[in-house]
Amino acid sequence: MIEHKILFTGTVSAGKTTAIQSVSEIPVICTDVLSNDLTLGKEATTVALDYGEVSLGKAERLRLYGTPGQERFSFMWDVLAQGALGLVILIDHTRPEPLRDLSIYLDHFRNLIQKTACVVVLSKMDASRPPALETFTEMMQKKHLVYPVVAADVRDKAQVLWILDLLLVQMEARL
């Protein structure tokens, strides 16, 4: 059995826990706690990690880890990044500065991304509302990071499998 560790990161409420729950074949281990931080706009937030698993055929399994969103838990980001073979960055497009959000994760995980694979996912996106998807791609090109940027609804299992496929294609290209 070949196993790959995949890490989901990104802003609070972008859908990290949801994405892992959408595809996991085991009950997701989730460390959400009730939050007293009303600015987050939701009652529960992840403080340590999420964990789920999905198998690809008989010989391969992905171990899916989700980071906490809040930057004050960023010490966990580095712990969780160890040994990861790919990174999914989820950006909630409805937040005030989604480009700035993306920049924070790209900068923080730059070493991991350059050694492995990355997909940027814009969640909750309404295509009529700026910034356009191309703006995110252009920002990454300026940082010399050439990775797919897609809009997706991670509540949908098929779309999360597609995101994982976009990562696996890059991983295979590196072998």
| Interface residues toward ligand GDP, by CB under 6 A | 12-18, 42, 46, 69, 123-124, 153-155
User: Among candidates 153, 149, 154, 144, which has minimal Cα distance to 166?
Assistant: 149
CB of 158 to ligand GDP, least distance (A): 13
What's the CA gap between 1 and 58, in Å, rounded?
8
Query: Please, which residue, 24 or 46, has the CB nearer to ligand GDP?
Result: 46
Tell me which of Mg ion, ligand GDP, none is bound by residue 98, counting a contact when its beta carbon lies within the kind-specific cut-off of 5 to 8 angstroms: none
Query: Please, which residue, 57 or 75, has the CB nearer to ligand GDP?
Result: 75
CB of 84 to ligand GDP, least distance (A): 17
The residue number whose beta carbon is nearest to ligand GDP equals 15
CB of 64 to ligand GDP, least distance (A): 12
Positive or negative: CA dihedral 29, 22, 70, 63: positive
User: Among candidates 175, 168, 170, 172, which has minimal Cα distance to 145?
Assistant: 170
Tell me which of ligand GDP, Mg ion, none is bound by residue 22, counting a contact when its beta carbon lies within the kind-specific cut-off of 5 to 8 angstroms: none
Query: Please, which residue, 36 or 128, has the CB nearer to Mg ion?
Result: 36
Tell me which of Mg ion, ligand GDP, none is bound by residue 4, counting a contact when its beta carbon lies within the kind-specific cut-off of 5 to 8 angstroms: none
CB 124 within 8 A of CB 148: no
Task: Say how far residue 124 (Cα) sits from the centre of its chain.
Answer: 14
108 burial level (CB within 10 Å; 0-12, 13-18, 19+): middle
What's the CA gap between 120 and 77, in Å, rounded?
17
17 contributes a contact to Mg ion by CB under 5 A: yes
CB of 68 to Mg ion, least distance (A): 7
Q: Which residues bind Mg ion (CB under 5 A)?
A: 16-17, 46
